[in-house]
Structure 1
Amino acid sequence: MGDVTTGKYCAHENRRWTCYDCNDGNCRIIRGRNKCPQFRRVPGDYPVPRASSADAVEIAGLPTRTLSWMGIRYYHEQPICTIAGCFNLERCSDTVLKVYVDHEGEHALLDYAAEHSKPIPVQRVHSANDACLIVVLSNTYSSVHDMKSSGHWNDGENHLLWDFSNFPYRKIAPDAPFNMFHVGKAIIASETIGTAYARLGYDLVLPLPRRWGRALAPNDVDIHRPRKYLLSFRGRVIDSIAAAYQHRWLAAEHWEVADDIVVDVECWHFDWLVDKKSLIKPYERSPGMFDDMMWNSTFGFTPGGSGMSSYRFGEVLSTGGIPVVVHGDFVPPLAPELDWSKCIVWVSEQRIIDLPHILRQIPPEEVHARQTACWKLHSAVFGEKEVDGKWYNDEGVVFTKGLQIIAQRVSSAAQMSKIVNDFADT
C-alpha cells in the first residue's frame, strides 16, 4: 500500500472500504457521495491465489497446480508449462512456424498471419503431423469431446486454444478465467486470464476488442493534442463479488470534484438466486457524452469488470490516451514480450481515491512520452480496421502478433535445445 501518512487512501475494514485523508499522520474519514450503495467483499472474491502459490503438486514428474475461481475449485492438474517442457520441439524449426488448423479452404486469420508475419514466417500446412503448432479456434469444434477426439490432441501438446474465453462449450460465466475442463499442455490465448492463471512465457493474454469505434482515421489522430479532461471513467457498478466493480465504486464515490475529472456510473444489483440484474441508478450523462469523454481525456481509468481486463483499455489507447490500471490480477496484452511499462500507469486499489492527485504530479514530458509509447503498442496489438465509418481493432493484427510471439519462443527453445545437445555430444 505504501506510505499512507499523507494523502488519501482506502482500507478494508470489516470487509468494507473506509477511506481517509491524512496529513502528517493525522487522518480523517472521508464520506462517499452515495452514487451507488457500497457492497461487501465475500469469501472467494478476488484476488484469487497467485499462480506461484496455487496448490502446486507433482504428477508424473511434471509440476501442476489446482486452481479456483470465485472460491470454487474446479480446474485441476494444469501443467506449469514452458515451451521447452511442454512442446515437442522435434516438430518445430527455428526459422519457420508451421501451423495447422482443422479447416479446409480459406482461413482469414491464418491467411493474414502468413502474409504479414515477420521476421519468422508463418506457413500453413494441411496435416497435423507436419505442424509445429495446431491452432484451435472457438468455432473449430462443437464440444470438448470432439476436440479431444481429433486424433492429434495428445493432452494438448503443441496446441494453441485461441480466444479461449469465447469457446462455445463453456460451462460457467463467459468472462470467467477458464472453462471447466482440463486443457493439458495446450497454450491458452484469452482475454480473461490474469496473474493467477497465466503461465507467463507460455499462455497468451489477449486484449478485449474495442466496442467503441473512433471516427478519425489513424493518420488523422494527433495523440499530443490538448485535452480538456485529465482523467475519466464511465461504466457499470454491479454489486457482484468481482473486486473490479469495487474499484469503479471507489472512483465514483471519492474522486475529487473538478472540471477536468469525469466519472459517470450506473448502479446495478445482481440477484444470484435468479441470475438477474436490476438497475438501481442510471448514468447521469447522456450517451452522446461518451465520445467527448473518450476523445478529450489524457488518462482513462480502465478497471476490469467481471474479469480482469476492460474494453476501455483498448478504447483509451485508440485515442492516444494513457490507460490507468489497478495492481492485482491484470496482465497487459501479450506480456512479457511486449513491454507496457513506458505506457501504462499503475495504481494500487488503496490509492484509487487519490488518482487525480497522483496524475497531476506527472511531468508534461513524461505524459508526452507515455502517449507515444501507448500509440505504438496500440498499433502493434490492436491494429485498425474501418467498419461503417468507424475505426475498430483488427483481429488479424493481434492473431499475427500472437503467432509471432509463439514463433520466437519456439525458435529460442529450439536453438537452446540444439546447443545443449551439441554440448552433450562433445
Structure 2
Amino acid sequence: MSDKGRASRPDVAGSFAMEAATNMHTCFYRSGYDISVPLAPRQVLHDLANVSPLDREFFLTTKCTLYISGHGSEERISLLPLQDEENGVVVTMHCFEEHQEHLLPENAEFCQALKDQYEGYDYRSLMNSTFGLVPAGRGPATYRLGEVMSAGSIPVFVGRDLVPPFMEQIDWPSISFAFTPDEVESRMMSTLLAVPPAQLEEMQRKSLEAYGRMFGADVNDFRPSARIILGILRRRLGHRRTR
C-alpha cells in the first residue's frame, strides 16, 4: 500500500466493524476480530512447484524494488549484505523513490550498480530457489508471497509488523520463516542453512497445500479465499455462542 493509501484507510479501531485487509499491521490488528487476507500473485510459477527444495538452482533469492526512504526501505536495505552468488544467494534490486526524488541522483552510482545486476537476472529463473525472500514493501503484504509459494519455494518473511494472511487457518511457522531487519545479517543464513533436508521437503509440501487453499487453480477466482473467510467467521460465531 502506498503512503497515500495508508493515510486514507478507514478508522475501524474501537468500532464494531470487522476489517478484512491485505495490508494488516500488528499495531492495529484486532486478534479474533479482523482478518488478514492475501494478495493474489501477479505471476504463477507452477512449472517449478514439483522441483525438490534439495535440487534447486539457487538457495535464497529475491528480485524486487529498493525503496530509498520511507516504509519498506529498512527491510529491503537489510537484505543487500546477503548477496553471495557463489553460494546461491541472489539479492537483486532496482532503486525507486516516489516522495524523496532528490535521493535518486544523490545515490546515482549505487543505484546504477544495483540496476546493472538487476537486469542480469530473470525473475522466473530466480524462483527456482529453495527459499524465497518476502520482504515487506510500502505495506507489510506483497504479491511476492503467492508467487514464491506457487513456485514451491519456501517463504522467508522480512518485516516488523506483518500479520500473515489467514493466520487462524494457515500454520505459517510450519511452512515459512520470519525475521526482522535486525535479524537478517545475524541470524537468517545460519537458521536457513541448519534446516534438515526432510524438513525442507515437508515445508514445501505444506506450503503448496496452503497456496492451493488460499488461491486454488485460478488466482482470479476469489472463492477459495472466500471459503476460508467464511470458515473463520463460522468458527468465531460458533465459539461465541458456546461462551
- TM-score normalised by L of structure 1: 0.50
Q: 1:358, 1:239 → 2: CA distance?
A: 28
* Alpha-carbon displacement from aligned partner over 1:343-374 (angstroms, at most 9, x marks no partner): 11122322212433331111111111111221
Tell me if the contact between 1:237 and 1:245 (Cα under 8 Å) persists in the aligned partners. Answer: yes
What percent of counterpart residues are identical?
Answer: 23
Residue 356 (1) aligns with residue 186 (2):
no
Residue 263 (1) aligns with residue 96 (2):
no
Give the match for residue 205 of structure 1.
36
Give the match for residue 346 of structure 1.
178
- Counterpart of 1:239, as a letter, is I
* Alpha-carbon displacement from aligned partner over 1:79-137 (angstroms, at most 9, x marks no partner): xxxxxxxxxxxxxxxxxxxxxxxxxxxxxxxxxxxxxxxxxxxxxxxxxxxxxxxxxxx
- Counterpart of 2:212, as a letter, is S
* Alpha-carbon displacement from aligned partner over 1:183-230 (angstroms, at most 9, x marks no partner): 7211100000121111111100011110123264xxx94152620111
**Which stretches in structure 2 are left out of the alignment for 5+ residues?**
none
Cα 1:363–1:208 change in 2 (3 A) is same
More helix by share: 2
Cα 1:206–1:283 change in 2 (3 A) is farther
More strand by share: 1
The match for 2:216 among 383, 407, 412 is: 383
The aligned length equals 234
Moved over 6 A (4+): 276-279
Give the match for residue 240 of structure 1.
69
Offset, 1:396? 1.8
RMSD value over aligned CA atoms?
Answer: 2.8
Tell me if the contact between 1:210 and 1:393 (Cα under 8 Å) persists in the aligned partners. Answer: no
Q: 2:197, 2:73 → 1: CA distance?
A: 31
Give the match for residue 408 of structure 1.
235
Q: 1:299, 1:198 → 2: CA distance?
A: 28
Residue 229 (1) aligns with residue 62 (2):
no
Give the match for residue 138 of structure 2.
306
Tell me if the contact between 2:46 and 2:150 (Cα under 8 Å) persists in the aligned partners. Answer: no
**Which stretches in structure 1 are left out of the alignment for 5+ residues?**
1-164, 386-391, 417-426
Q: 1:328, 1:286 → 2: CA distance?
A: 29
Q: 1:408, 1:319 → 2: CA distance?
A: 31
Q: 2:225, 2:24 → 1: CA distance?
A: 16
Q: 1:261, 1:277 → 2: CA distance?
A: 26
Cα 1:273–1:290 change in 2 (3 A) is closer
* Alpha-carbon displacement from aligned partner over 1:141-191 (angstroms, at most 9, x marks no partner): xxxxxxxxxxxxxxxxxxxxxxxx7xxxx9x623x2761545721110000
SS, match of residue 202 in structure 1: coil
Tell me if the contact between 2:132 and 2:148 (Cα under 8 Å) persists in the aligned partners. Answer: yes
Between 192-201 and 177-186, report the one with greater CA deviation.
Answer: 177-186
Greater relative contact order (Cα 8 A, min sep 6): structure 1 or 2? 2
SS, match of residue 212 in structure 1: coil
Cα 1:357–1:181 change in 2 (3 A) is closer
Give the match for residue 369 of structure 1.
202
Q: 1:341, 1:405 → 2: CA distance?
A: 19
Q: 2:228, 2:209 → 1: CA distance?
A: 14
SS, match of residue 136 in structure 2: coil
Q: 1:329, 1:188 → 2: CA distance?
A: 17
Give the match for residue 53 of structure 1.
none
